[in-house]
Structure 1
Amino acid sequence: MPRERPRERPREERPRARPREERDRSEREPEPERDRSEREPEPERDRSERERPRTRRPALVARDAARSAARHVQGLTGRTPEGVTSLERTEDGWTIGIEVVETHRIPDSTDLLAEYQVELDDSGELVSYRRTERYYRGRAENRT
């Protein structure tokens, strides 16, 4: 027959020692509360500092703006973007240049490429887009 184990007794709850910082604070005399009129006045702030509008951080960072522009171009043209050619922050959003292969040819150096200019608002929504130029991949140096 297996031996029965003796039951363990629950540990008695001992009061936890207070951290030293709390003991030191409780042993000190409480500081008398100051009247608000006795407190030191807050320093005067320059009026222009108070009235200056806070510059808000853009809702969309450059990398996300470029990705959003590429998605919009792909959705509108049905062609996969090759890359980002330009990126500029404007007052109310972003202007991004996206390069797209319009026609694949053999050899690749004769592919027909196009650059689309995309304007996005601060939240990444499309404001406008247009094709700004078309060129052959092998003759890109002749672009203006």
Structure 2
Amino acid sequence: MPRQPPEASPAASQAASQAARRAVGHVTGMTGRDAEGVVGVQRRDDGGWRVTVEVVETHRIPGSADILAVYETDLDADGELVAFHRTRRYPRGRVDRP
């Protein structure tokens, strides 16, 4: 029988949500762009976080023609930005293919 992953503790969930909020603040502050949302959160071995944030790079009319981007951020254990970079850009509504 496959082993199930342990349930996240409330403290870990809280820390992840705080890291996500901090990452959004860092990305929007650095880029001046509007965040669409957090699309990934991962605890790093050093106690920090890797948070992936989706932002609107270019607003267009209609909104379905907006250009979105994904930024990957690394935060230290205190939530301070260590690194960030854009990993991709794409039109809104574009679906990744396997």
Do these two structures clear the TM 0.5 threshold for a shared fold by scoring above it? yes
Distance 2:85 2:72 in 1: 5
- TM-superposed deviation, 1:127: 0.6
- Contact 1:135/1:143 (<8 A) preserved: no
2:21 counterpart of 1:70: no
Moved over 6 A (4+): none
2:35 to 68, 78, 81: 81
Distance 1:84 1:91 in 2: 20
> What TM-score does the superposition give when structure 2 sets the normalisation length?
0.81
Distance 1:101 1:143 in 2: 21
Percent identity, aligned pairs only, is 53
Q: What stretches of structure 1 of length at least 5 have no aligned partner?
A: 1-56
Please give the per-residue CA displacement for 1:90-112, whole angstroms capped at 9, x wherever unaligned.
11210010000000111111100
Match of 1:68, SS state, is helix
Distance 1:123 1:80 in 2: 24
CA 1:78–1:96: 2 relative to 1, 3 Å: same
Relative contact order (alpha carbons < 8 A, sep ≥ 6): 1 or 2 greater?
2
Q: Which residue of 1 aligns with 2:54?
A: 99
Distance 2:43 2:93 in 1: 30
> What TM-score does the superposition give when structure 1 sets the normalisation length?
0.56
Please give the per-residue CA displacement for 1:119-139, whole angstroms capped at 9, x wherever unaligned.
000000001000000000021
Distance 1:143 1:129 in 2: 25
Q: What stretches of structure 2 of length at least 5 have no aligned partner?
A: 1-10
Aligned positions, number:
86
Distance 1:80 1:90 in 2: 26
Please give the per-residue CA displacement for 1:1-43, whole angstroms capped at 9, x wherever unaligned.
xxxxxxxxxxxxxxxxxxxxxxxxxxxxxxxxxxxxxxxxxxx
Distance 2:16 2:52 in 1: 12
